[in-house]
């Protein structure tokens, strides 16, 4: 119950920003409902008039002013109805508006999240929440306007009809309403199960999307390892789980519909029996009898609409919860703007930093301390899993240390405006991620406006100029998702170009040499020295020859900083480092 109230509050909150539209809808709804009710009343009038005239054939032999009046009444009511008839269009306009607003809003929420969040929520799941949960009938967007207003319309129609029936004959009305309470009780019992079923079903949908995501992303592996059939089997299993939840839902849904339908049917039976007797005994006219019948057959659809409100409400509430879950998932360190802004980055220091990815796991970094100054190039090396990428994650504010501080110009990183800080850095991830779009789009991704000179010189630095010339469409060549249509090294170099184009003060290169040939690397460093002389660099590399391009080495092993300093010095000082470097040296030319 509390949970329902929370969701209702949520909806009301959403409505706040659309007051005008909603009032218009409310108005149109009421007009349309009242027009509908007048219709059986006019028919009653018609029948009664006709019967009166039929009984007096000597006076009435043709359509007289009485009948003309009724005809005009019909026409007027019809015209009124015609004018308000587009209001379902307004309703669906609001639906799509809600759809649009919510998608953008929650997508923006996702953009604020950190790795903790993405360790838990999978892409397929998140996509489901932002698309099918919002868009599909009868989920959030539909419910928030159409669902509610349709029910409101139905409800007012029913109320108006019942009121009119009371006005015509209260005894007969009472008799027709007898089965109502019984049905309500049955309905309440059944509908309680709904929420649960919806939730299960929605989870099944997300599961399917997750499976699809993983199978399509890993298609090459699936093909290379010839496991198409296994993946097909998994998908079949997931589908059959979904099959069950869907069937459960449908059955429940239909049952509830059924109950409502019978409420109205019983009322009609009551009208036929009791109303029939009353006509025979002359307590009511034929017109009244027929009006009752018309009212009841008219409100059957509205009556069927009402459980829809409950059903789709339950569904929408589950979906709203799923959206709110995204929003409420805590962020380790929210980005708060308008704190310290730095103009020049002079020093960067790690002071006694310890970090772990989750509380109950061992530390990935233990008491790591080091300093770097402006213009320094530091290489971070160490065995796999030593924590090198983690250090870059901490430096860029993607991760936050559990212990110790990271200071820029002596100011702790959490007191610095992160957005502003990130404007000053260029980051190349270990696995280059490119977006669908042209090569150029990808390179200028980090900047709103770019001078042609800069663009070209950056292409030059990353040694892409010649290769791009070989492409038929040059730099408007489209790269597929994640850059699938490029070679490994090309992706890496585009990612470097994207970082350099921001003209950053610090560069973070995570293992960029992994798919860069030595020739390219040599040229890259030479050009960076030439064009970005003053730039501070953090380079993670597994290629020892990179050491020749840097000032200092930070040697890391299993989360401990073992050595920091110039290669020549620490190789003498630290046997671990010496082992790591010389043990791995294969040949000497």
Partner 1 sequence: MEKKKFINFKMIKELTPYIKKERWLFLSGLTMMLITSTLRLIDPLIIGHIVDKVVPDNDIGKLYQFAGLFVTVIVLSGLLTYYQVILLSKMGIKIVTRLKMQMFDKFLHLPVGYFDHNPVGELIARVESDCENVRQLFSDLSVTIFGNLLFFLGMLIVMFLRHFNVTLLLLIPISIIIISLFLLVSYLGKFYRKIRELNSQITGIITEYIQGISIIQLFNQQKRVISILDDKSKIKRNTDARATFTEYSFWGLFGFLIETVFIVILIYLLAPQILLGLVTLGTLIVFIQYTQRIFWPLIMVSENINQIQRAFASIYRIFNILNLSSEYDVDKGNEKHKYQPIRFDNLIEFRNVSFQYKEDELILNNINFCIKKGEKVALVGASGSGKTTTISLLCRFYNILSGGIYVDGIHINDFDLKEWRKKIGLVLQDVYLFPGDIRENIRIYDDTIVDEKIFEALEYVGASEMITRLKNGIATEIMERGQNLSVGEKQLLSFARAIVFDPEIIILDEATASVDVLTEKKIQKAMDKILEQKTAIIIAHRLSSVIHSDKIIFFHNGNIIAAGTHNQLLNESNEYKKLVNLQFLSHKEAG
Residues near ligand ATP (CB under 6 A) are 115, 119, 357, 364, 384-390, 430, 484-490, 511, 515
**Residue whose CB is less far from partner 1, 7 or 443:** 443
**Residue whose CB is less far from partner 1, 7 or 33:** 33
Tokens of 274: 């009791």
Handedness of CA 190, 195, 199, 205 (dihedral sign): positive
The angle that helices 19-54 and 148-168 make with each other, rounded to 10 degrees, is 30
Contact string 484-523 vs Mg ion (x = CB under 5 A): ---xx-----------------------------------
Beta-carbon contacts of 354 under 8 Å, excluding residues fewer than 6 positions away, are: 363, 365, 366, 367, 368, 401, 402, 403, 404
**Residue 522, binding choice from Mg ion, ligand ATP, partner 1, none, Cβ under 5 to 8 Å by partner class:** partner 1
- Least Å distance, CB 399 to ligand ATP, is 9
- Least Å distance, CB 241 to partner 1, is 11
**Residue whose CB is less far from Mg ion, 306 or 540:** 540
Beta-carbon contacts of 148 under 8 Å, excluding residues fewer than 6 positions away, are: 11, 309
- Least Å distance, CB 530 to ligand ATP, is 24
| Segment 391 to 430, residues that bind Mg ion, using CB under 5 A | 430
Tokens of 504: 């950053």
- Least Å distance, CB 388 to Mg ion, is 5
Q: Which residue is nearest to Mg ion (CB)?
A: 389
| Segment 365 to 394, residues that bind Mg ion, using CB under 5 A | 389
Contact 375, 535 (CB under 8 A): yes
- Least Å distance, CB 542 to ligand ATP, is 6
**Residue 170, binding choice from Mg ion, partner 1, ligand ATP, none, Cβ under 5 to 8 Å by partner class:** none
Label residue 380 exposed, middle or buried (CB < 10 Å: 0-12, 13-18, 19+): buried
- Least Å distance, CB 546 to Mg ion, is 15
- Look at residues 158, 164, 204 and name the one whose alpha carbon lies nearest to residue 297: 158
**Distance in angstroms (rounded) separating the CA atoms of residues 301 and 297:** 8
363 backbone dihedrals φ, ψ, rounded to 5°: -65, 140
**Residue whose CB is less far from ligand ATP, 145 or 428:** 428
**Residue whose CB is less far from partner 1, 383 or 412:** 383
- Least Å distance, CB 375 to partner 1, is 22
**Residue whose CB is less far from Mg ion, 517 or 568:** 517
**Residue 337, binding choice from ligand ATP, Mg ion, partner 1, none, Cβ under 5 to 8 Å by partner class:** none
Contact 25, 149 (CB under 8 A): yes
**Distance in angstroms (rounded) separating the CA atoms of residues 304 and 285:** 29
**Residue whose CB is less far from partner 1, 7 or 428:** 428
Cα–Cα separations (whole angstroms), residue 156 to 30, 84, 89, 555: 7, 16, 19, 75
Binding footprint of Mg ion on the chain (CB under 5 A):
389, 430, 487-488
């Amino acid at each position: 119950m509390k949970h329902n109230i929370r969701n209702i509050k949520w909806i009301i909150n959403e409505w706040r920003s659309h007051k005008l539209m909603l009032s218009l809808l409310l108005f149109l709804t009421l007009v349309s409902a009242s027009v509908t009710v007048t219709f059986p009343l006019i028919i009653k009038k018609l029948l009664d008039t006709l019967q009166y005239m039929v009984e007096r054939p000597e006076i009435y032999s043709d359509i007289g002013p009485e009948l003309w009046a009724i005809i005009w009444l019909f026409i007027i009511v019809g015209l009124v109805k015609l004018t308000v008839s587009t209001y379902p269009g307004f309703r669906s306009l609001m639906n799509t508006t809600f759809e649009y607003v919510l998608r953008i809003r929650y997508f923006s929420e996702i953009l604020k999240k950190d790795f903790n969040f993405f360790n838990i929520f999978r892409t397929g799941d998140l996509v489901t929440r932002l698309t099918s949960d919002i868009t599909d009938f009868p989920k959030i967007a539909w419910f928030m306007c159409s669902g509610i207003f349709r029910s409101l319309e139905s409800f007012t129609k029913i109320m108006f009809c019942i009121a009119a029936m009371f006005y015509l004959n209260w005894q007969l009305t009472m008799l027709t309403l007898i089965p109502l309470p019984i049905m309500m009780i049955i309905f309440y019992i059944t509908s309680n199960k709904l929420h649960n079923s919806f939730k299960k079903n929605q989870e099944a949908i997300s599961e399917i999307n997750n499976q699809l995501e993983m199978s399509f992303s890993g298609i090459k592996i699936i093909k290379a390892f010839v496991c198409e059939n296994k993946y097909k089997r998994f998908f079949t299993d997931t589908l059959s789980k979904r099959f069950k939840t869907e069937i459960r839902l449908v059955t429940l849904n239909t049952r509830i519909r059924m109950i409502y339908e019978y409420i109205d049917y019983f009322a009609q039976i009551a009208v036929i029996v009791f109303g029939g007797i009353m006509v025979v005994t002359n307590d009511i006219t034929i017109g009244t009898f027929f009006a009752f019948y018309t009212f009841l057959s008219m409100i059957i659809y509205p009556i069927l609409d009402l459980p829809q409100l409950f059903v789709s409400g339950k569904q929408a509430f589950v979906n709203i919860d799923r959206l709110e879950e995204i929003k409420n998932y805590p962020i380790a360190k929210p980005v708060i703007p308008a704190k310290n802004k730095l103009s020049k980055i002079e020093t960067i220091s790690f002071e006694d930093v310890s970090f772990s990815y989750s509380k109950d796991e061992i530390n990935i970094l233990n008491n790591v301390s080091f300093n770097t100054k402006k213009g320094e190039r530091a290489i971070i090396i160490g065995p796999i899993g030593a924590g090198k990428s983690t250090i870059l994650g901490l430096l860029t504010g993607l991760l936050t240390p559990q212990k110790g501080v990271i200071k820029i110009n002596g100011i702790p990183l959490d007191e610095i405006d992160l957005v502003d800080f990130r404007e000053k850095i260029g980051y190349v991830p270990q696995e280059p991620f490119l977006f669908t779009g042209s090569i150029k789009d990808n390179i200028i991704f980090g900047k709103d406006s770019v001078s042609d000179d800069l663009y070209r010189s950056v292409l030059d630095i990353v040694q892409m100029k010649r290769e791009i010339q070989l492409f038929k469409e040059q730099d408007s060549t489209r790269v597929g998702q994640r850059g699938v249509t490029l070679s490994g090294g090309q992706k890496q170099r585009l990612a470097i170009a994207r970082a350099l184009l921001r003209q950053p003060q610090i560069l973070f290169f995570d293992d960029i040499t992994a798919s860069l040939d030595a020739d390219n690397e040599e040229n890259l460093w030479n050009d960076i020295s030439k064009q970005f002389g003053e730039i501070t660099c953090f380079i993670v590399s597994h290629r020892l020859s990179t050491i020749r391009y840097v000032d200092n080495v930070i040697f890391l092993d299993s989360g401990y900083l073992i050595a920091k300093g110039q290669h020549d010095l620490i190789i003498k000082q630290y046997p671990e480092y010496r082992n790591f470097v010389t043990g791995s040296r294969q040949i000497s030319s």
